[in-house]
Homo-oligomer: A and B are copies of this chain.
Amino acid sequence: MLTIYHVPRTRSIRVIWLCEELNLPYQVESISFAPEYRASPEWRKMNPVGKVPVLTDGDLTMFESGAMVQYILDRYADGRLQPVAGTPEHAIYLQWSWFAEATFARPLGEIVAHRRAFPKDQEKPDIVAEMQARSTVCLTAIDKVLADKEYITGEFSAADVMLGYTVMLTEMLAPADNCPNAMAYWERLKQRKACQIAIGYGL
């Protein structure tokens, strides 16, 4: 049985969302996001750098939401929600999945990290502004792609699960005007029952 170690608003949303889309059985362990818990030997045994989420599946324990999404697809999805591996279509699916986390979520995650590391009166507004500007470049890039597409690769795929969570972070941390296609995309994703369940889990 897939067990998802979950904290609301974090990347575990992607994993719950994917399981719901695929109609897979899974269970959720809600854990504390307190820095003390994430630094505890108990949690560091699950993730050596203290991040969330973690996924277990029998004897397997793994971290990194992007890796979990790919593992679940390859093991349980029977070809659903990704193109066939090794095709140009799969390359573009991979591209947006990686972009979602490695490029687009980076400045957003850094805003969170900055605010965690520095108390409010030591927060550096120019640092945060620079990170927000980089996230807006990413949002603008997907806005252009989404001008004539419902989903980032055309049809709905797991790349939208990866990217949807990042757009949700944008809404919270670096809202941008002038990206109507990206915002319509996010509204479209939020209409999906699986997305709603994932976002609402434990709130």
Chain A residues within 8 Å of B, Cβ to Cβ: 48-51, 57-60, 62-64, 66-68, 70-71, 74-75, 85-88, 90-92, 94-95, 97-99, 101-103, 105-107, 109-110, 113-114, 117-118, 124, 126-127, 130, 134, 137-138, 141, 144-145
Contacts and interface: CB of A to CB of B under 8 A. Distances in A.
Given A88-B59, A117-B130, A64 B110 contact: no
Contacts of A90: 71, 74
Given A95-B62, A103-B64, A127-B127, A113 B86 contact: no
B103 A91 contact: no
A138 B71 contact: no
Contacts of A137: 49-50
A62 B117 contact: no
Contacts of A75: 86-87, 91
B95 A64 contact: yes
A117 B124 CA distance: 14
Contacts of A88: 57-60
A67 B51 contact: no
A5 to B, nearest CB: 14
A151 B66 CA distance: 21
A67 B89 CA distance: 12
A1 B75 CA distance: 31
